[in-house]
Amino acid sequence: MIASRDQRPETARPMIECNEIQKYYGDYHALRGIDLVIREGEFFSLLGPSGCGKTTLLRTIAGFEGISSGAVLIDGKHMENVPANSRPTNMVFQSYAIFPHLTVAQNVAFGLRRDPRGKSEKAALVEEALAMVGLRGYGGRAAHALSGGQRQRVALARALILKPKVLLLDEPLSALDRKMREQMQVELIKLQRQVGITFVLVTHDQEEALVMSDRIAVMFDGEIAQLDEPETLYARPKDRRVADFIGVMNFLPAQITREADGIVSVDVPGLGPVELPESQVSRANPDDSGPVLGFRPETMTLLTPGQSSQHARETDVVIDEVVYYGDMTYYDLRLEGTQHTVRISMRNVFGRDVQSVGTKARVAWSPGSLVLFR
């Protein structure tokens, strides 16, 4: 799973450093001590619900917002007195901010005004940048005649033509329809590999962050709740907020029976006794009444009648609801002997029938995919 992604060496040079950033808007505490290092060439995402401070953080890096205390360094240089127009960053705005009074080519060439190169050289650069984003030959078009996806490409070309050290992307895909969004996700990844510069993406879409990023910082209430690679973030969320925000997770009440030698033993109604190492133990929400056990829908397998599994554990269930999605089927299962319902997902493969509501069945699971929140 991990092998599919480019691995950036831990030793890559830091490109953006945020040290203890505090930001107040009047009484409102927007950023609460952000400490962050984004490495050179990394595709980094700031993920969180709206109002969590992710856009504010991006705008402090770009220089559109000042900070109350702390420091931003880009490529080792202090940015305190560097205005937005002098920072080695460029931004793709959420609304794309394409200049409506200019043509596509004039938009892309906007930042080249003080470039000493000649007119024809600049025109060639513009054409090259447009080709890079798949808009070869669009230079003469009026900006207002473009579709949403084309505007986004112009915004990308306009930023990348300046060869910034960091490209900042503020929810760049949120205005596109689903098909277009998925296509642009892949294109953005390819583009980032091609140009090799650091990308910092702000998004509220966890799927988008998982698909595109080398590392993700999940933010809540002006703080970074967890900073990890997508796989770790998904499989080992550090607290229940992160688990809730990223993907779907089932939660069951648990009782801790024993703690010794870095192993926590819990008893879970329906699943029975489970032993978990410390690495599978995370923080619960402050308002949780007790320890909670969580697992992802795809980590449990519904067995066909008579099938037995290689997994360590099996549990009896009753099928409460079946939701058929074409490629996937979601089952809501009531754990035998309890009132707890969990949702699991099964990939539909040829030769395996979708099981029907009301039947008794067995699921197989492994303690290694569980997370305890306490």
Partner 1 sequence: MAKPGMDREARQGLTLIAPPFLYALAILAVPVLTILSYSFLTDGYLEVIGEFTFGNYIQVWSDPIVRAVLLRSLSVSAAVTVVTVLLAFPVAYYLSFVVRPERKSMWLFLITIPFWTSYLIRVFLWKVILGYNGVINSSLTGLGIIDQPLTFILYNVNSMVLTLAHAYAPFAILPIFVALEKIDRSLLEAGRDLGENRLMTFWRVTLPLAMPGVVAAVLIVFIPTIGDYVTPELIGGGKIPMIANLIQVQMLALDNRPLGSALAVTAMLVVAVVSLIFLWLNRRFLRVKQ
| Angstrom distance (rounded) from CA 65 to CA 21 | 12
Fill in the DSSP letter of residue 81: T
Which residue, 289, 254, 290, is CA-closest to 275? Answer: 254
Smallest gap, in angstroms, from Cβ of residue 101 to partner 1? 4
* Long-range CB pairs of 20-28, under 8 A, 24+ apart, other chains included: 20/69, 20/70, 20/71, 21/57, 21/60, 21/67, 21/69, 21/70, 21/71, 21/72, 22/67, 22/68, 22/69, 22/70, 23/53, 23/56, 23/60, 23/65, 23/67, 23/68, 23/222, 24/68
- Name the residue nearer to partner 1 (CB basis): 23 or 240: 23
Note whether 62 binds partner 1 by CB under 8 A.
yes
- Name the residue nearer to partner 1 (CB basis): 171 or 208: 171
| Angstrom distance (rounded) from CA 320 to CA 317 | 9
Smallest gap, in angstroms, from Cβ of residue 20 to partner 1? 25
- Name the residue nearer to partner 1 (CB basis): 58 or 209: 58
Smallest gap, in angstroms, from Cβ of residue 56 to partner 1? 14
| Angstrom distance (rounded) from CA 171 to CA 302 | 37
Smallest gap, in angstroms, from Cβ of residue 191 to partner 1? 18
Smallest gap, in angstroms, from Cβ of residue 203 to partner 1? 17
Smallest gap, in angstroms, from Cβ of residue 92 to partner 1? 9
Q: What's CA 261's distance to the chain center, in Å?
A: 34
Binding mask 72-111 for partner 1 (x = CB under 8 A): -----------xxxx--xxx-xxx-x-xxx--------xx
- Name the residue nearer to partner 1 (CB basis): 92 or 293: 92
- Name the residue nearer to partner 1 (CB basis): 24 or 110: 110
Note whether 243 binds partner 1 by CB under 8 A.
no
Q: Which of 37, 82, 123, 162 binds partner 1 (CB under 8 A)?
A: 162
In terms of phi and psi (left: phi > 0; alpha: psi -120 to 50; beta: otherwise), the region of 225 is alpha
| Angstrom distance (rounded) from CA 214 to CA 5 | 8
- In this structure, are residues 58 and 204 in contact, taking their beta carbons and an 8 Å threshold? no
Note whether 64 binds partner 1 by CB under 8 A.
yes
Smallest gap, in angstroms, from Cβ of residue 158 to partner 1? 7
Smallest gap, in angstroms, from Cβ of residue 85 to partner 1? 5
Q: Which of 13, 78, 136, 144 binds partner 1 (CB under 8 A)?
A: 144
- Name the residue nearer to partner 1 (CB basis): 58 or 264: 58
Note whether 113 binds partner 1 by CB under 8 A.
yes
- Name the residue nearer to partner 1 (CB basis): 117 or 352: 117
Site size toward partner 1 (CB under 8 A) is 24
Element housing 322 (H / E): strand 313-324
Kindly report the number of other CB atoms within 10 A of residue 291's CB atom.
18
- In this structure, are residues 147 and 175 in contact, taking their beta carbons and an 8 Å threshold? no
Note whether 150 binds partner 1 by CB under 8 A.
no
- In this structure, are residues 170 and 55 in contact, taking their beta carbons and an 8 Å threshold? yes
Residues at the contact surface with partner 1, assessed by CB under 8 A = 62, 64, 83-86, 89-91, 93-95, 97, 99-101, 110-111, 113-114, 144, 158-159, 162
